[in-house]
Amino acid sequence: MTSPSNSFTLPTSLEAWKKLENLAQPGVVEHLRDLLIDPERSHAMTVSLHGMELNYSHQRVTTEVMVALAELAQGTQLKEHTQALFAGERVNVSEQRAALHVALRGQGLQHPPWGEAIQAQVGTELARVCRFVDLFESHQLKGFGGEPFTDVVNLGIGGSALGPMTCVQALEGLNQGPSTHARVHFVSNVDAWSLWHTLKGLNPRTTLFVVQSKTFTTQETTLLASSAKRWLVDQGCSEHDLPRHLVAVTARQDLALKQGFLAEQTFHFWDWVGGRYSVWSSIGLPVALAIGAENFKSMLSGARAMDEHFFTAPVLENMPTLMALLGVWNRNFLKAPSHHIATYAYRLRGLTPYIQQLDMESNGKGTHLNANRVQIETAPIVWGGLGIDGQHAYFQLIHQGQHLVPVDFIGVRHDSACPLPLAQEHLRCLQLNMMAQAQAMALGRDESHTRQEMTAQGLSAEAIDALAPHRSFRGNTPSSSLWLQELDAFSLGMLMALYEHKTFVQATLWGINPFDQWGVELGKTMANELAQEGKKPS
């Protein structure tokens, strides 16, 4: 069965692939310390969008490599696949579903490619979310003691947690001081201590639980919800008042209503929204409660701006496509086994776990769209975290270890939100370290320069002989630097949509389906079987 969605071109069959294999041979592309001598390189290899800048001058590429990568994109019908995605075709071929996360942030578009019916459905649910936020902020939602809710606990896992948590953390600046916004907490792990750690500091009378689950059958989330209800009842909440403390966000409203959730506190999203792509849907309710409806809509607008850019910009000016092509160059041609995300903003501490699910659950695949076994590398291992912490820990391996580890550095140019008096000095320190790490990874320091440095430090010849090899740096580790003007709702929306589209482009290049996740099913099945057999840890 072929359809526009599952037809693809094997990338290795393309002339561009062979060109890239030749270009990747040792010595063909100069060392970064030589490429970076060109004073025009940084400007030529920077793409901007609404203040966001992607500088890929520290990637191991030349114009010839970029042209061949662009040919690869054209040869694998990227444009056609993108049009199919936006038009709501069943691009998720193994589940015969569309993947229309772009429709979730396209309100206000005239003649949307996904059609008026979906446009209306999305608009209705978004209005319900915004209305609920307004009720919360005007103190019309009250707990069993008659007091308005103050705290929200998100119970969910994977896509039902990581996206909302990333946003709430990133936009802390929008929830400062005395505010009508909710204090939002996240519990995803089924370990009782994970729930207790949050509940112990909360007032049950003013705590609202948002149970987030697309399937509404995820074992961990179900148990967390039962435990939360029990906590409320033990703290004096009557069975009658219990539903007031509970909100459901799910594609299975029927299950939620059967379990006693109030219809007016049950929010819906659709099966054509993947869990890891769902933060723009009602799954974003905790975000809207934390930052307000208008800021949530601003986040949607940022994602929309990235959608528009992705849909219209030429390949070599297209931010998501560039990041995807550079990732393919590093993965399939320079053979890097992993990809590192280094965020230089504490508020972005949730971004790496979010991208790990987005990237590895989408593209950690071994079967092509046509069900044939994949013969090329697909998703790299995505790892990372806060760069400042990493440079005092695992960056050692990136600088001097045996692996080639390409890095995305993500930083912020301006921060007007932090109330601390020395905030600008903190920001400067972050920025200098991010720039220095990208430079050190690219340039390295060869042994002759290391010897010169040690001689200048007055070390003896025998000390230099003994130490120089240990203190030299090969360099030539590639990186991209992504700078946000300010970490606000709009730029965060752009950033997260950027990585969604990067993931989609790589899947298109590899001829795989980024929208299913059969690989997570076996473990769940076995856990249920063990439970039914009454197995104990052995």
- Give the E-state strand segments of 98-256 in sequence order: 151-155, 183-187, 207-212, 246-250
Residues 255 and 218: beta-carbon distance below 8 Å: no
Which residue, 473, 484, 385, is CA-closest to 436? 473
Burial (0-12, 13-18, 19+ Cβ within 10 Å), 10: middle
Kind of pairing between the strands at 46-49 and 52-55: antiparallel
Q: Quick one: 270 or 490, whose CB is closer to ligand F6P? A: 270
Q: In angstroms, what is the minimal distance from the CB of 519 to ligand F6P?
A: 9
**Options 111, 200, 240, 392, the catalytic residue:** 392
Q: Quick one: 317 or 521, whose CB is closer to ligand F6P? A: 521
Per-residue buried b or exposed e for 176-196, using 16+ beta carbons within 10 Å of the residue's own CB:
eeeeebbbbbbbbebeeeebe
In the region spanning residues 311 to 370, those forming contacts with ligand F6P, defined by CB under 6 A, are 361
Active site residue 214: no
CA distance 105 to 281: 8
Q: What angle do CA 412, 416, 418 make, to 5 degrees?
A: 90
Active site residue 392: yes
Q: Quick one: 113 or 284, whose CB is closer to ligand F6P? A: 284
Q: Which of 68, 104, 129, 157 binds ligand F6P (CB under 6 A)?
A: 157
Q: Taking the mean position of all CA atoms in its chain, how far away is CA 220?
A: 22
Count interface residues toward ligand F6P (CB under 6 A). Answer: 14
Q: Which of 28, 520, 526, 527 binds ligand F6P (CB under 6 A)?
A: 520
- Would you count residue 275 as binding ligand F6P (CB under 6 A)? yes
- Would you count residue 221 as binding ligand F6P (CB under 6 A)? yes
Kind of pairing between the strands at 381-386 and 338-343: parallel
In the region spanning residues 60 to 79, those forming contacts with ligand F6P, defined by CB under 6 A, are none
**Options 58, 361, 500, 502, the catalytic residue:** 361
Q: Which of 158, 320, 387, 444 binds ligand F6P (CB under 6 A)?
A: 158
Active site residue 524: yes
- Would you count residue 475 as binding ligand F6P (CB under 6 A)? no
- Part in contact with ligand F6P (CB under 6 A); list of ranges 212-220, 289-297, 307-315, 321-329: 212-220
CA distance 125 to 119: 10
Q: Which of 218, 266, 378, 503 binds ligand F6P (CB under 6 A)?
A: 218
- Would you count residue 517 as binding ligand F6P (CB under 6 A)? yes
- Would you count residue 215 as binding ligand F6P (CB under 6 A)? yes
CA distance 488 to 172: 9
- Helix (H) / strand (E) element for 485: namely strand 479-486
Provide the binding-site residues for ligand F6P, judged by CB under 6 A: 157-160, 213-215, 218, 221, 275-276, 361, 517, 520
